[in-house]
Amino acid sequence: MSRFVLLLVLLLCAPFAGAEDKADAWTSFSEKVGSTLPFPLGSDEARAEGFWHGVWDGTKRILSEGSQDLYVSGYYYHTPYHFSEHRRDEFNDNAWGLGYGRTLAEENQNQRMFYGMVVRDSHQKPFYLAGYAWVARWDFYREVQVGAGYSALLIAHSTSTNYWPVPLLAPVVSIGTNNAAIYATYFNGIGYFFGKFSLDP
């Protein structure tokens, strides 16, 4: 979430800054965003060949070295300020479903994840989602950590996308350990909660 706030601050301050200050601010911002992508995990050789080579090499590293994870989908919260009480009564809140993914934890315990899930949507129909997530984590209590970050994903939904894959950028928060955690995200007036369990010993 902090990167979204930073982007907003930069947009608001941009008209009052000099050209050089703007360039420095955008360079700093792009470097910070870039550090959350798979690119920094790529080999020196791949990164030297260009951005997409570095991203692809970093992606392969996450998929090969990351822990194997089981995703268990759980719950939708249809916000009252976005949906009427009548609409909310008609919706399905139980987002039952399963998924699989890979998570690579960095030395600072930040997580980079690739995942895919099939769940039941608000209308009791299949909902498909797959993407990449980056989550910064901080110690909370003993082995429990809290986290915040973002996910860039594709969704295919029965009503809003007519099952065409549509890209989406969404915030992500978490609480849990390396072995088990609860995640939450928000899009289109809906809070979505799901769990992730490591399958590695």
Is the pLDDT at 2 greater than 50? The verdict is no
The pLDDT value recorded for residue 11 is 45
Rounded mean pLDDT, 14-40: 66
Q: In order of start, what are the domains of the chain with their CATH numbers?
A: 2-61 (no CATH), 67-198 (2.40.160.20)
| pLDDT > 90 in the chain, percent | 63
DSSP string, 59-92: HHHHHHHSEEEEEEEEEEEE-TTTS-HHHHHHS-
The band of 10, judged by pLDDT with boundaries at 50, 70 and 90, is: very low
Which one has a higher pLDDT value, 60 or 162?
60
Is the pLDDT at 21 greater than 70? The verdict is no
> What's the predicted TM-score (pTM) here?
0.81
Mean model confidence pLDDT for the chain: 86
Residue with structure tokens 């909902």?
Answer: 127
The pLDDT value recorded for residue 25 is 60
Please write the tens of the pLDDT for every residue from 62-104.
999 999 999 999 899 999 988 888 888 889 899 999 999 999 9
Please write the tens of the pLDDT for every residue from 94-153.
999 999 999 999 888 899 999 999 999 998 899 999 999 999 999 999 889 999 999 999
Provide φ and ψ at 162, rounded to 5°.
55, 35
Rounded CA separation 180/144 (Å): 9
The band of 20, judged by pLDDT with boundaries at 50, 70 and 90, is: low
Is the pLDDT at 44 greater than 50? The verdict is yes
Contact 157, 143 (CB under 8 A): no
Is the pLDDT at 201 greater than 60? The verdict is yes
| pLDDT > 70 in the chain, percent | 84
Is the pLDDT at 5 greater than 50? The verdict is no
Query: Buried (b) or exposed (e) across 7-31, using 16+ Cβ within 10 A?
Result: eeeeeeeeeeeeeeeeeebeeeeee
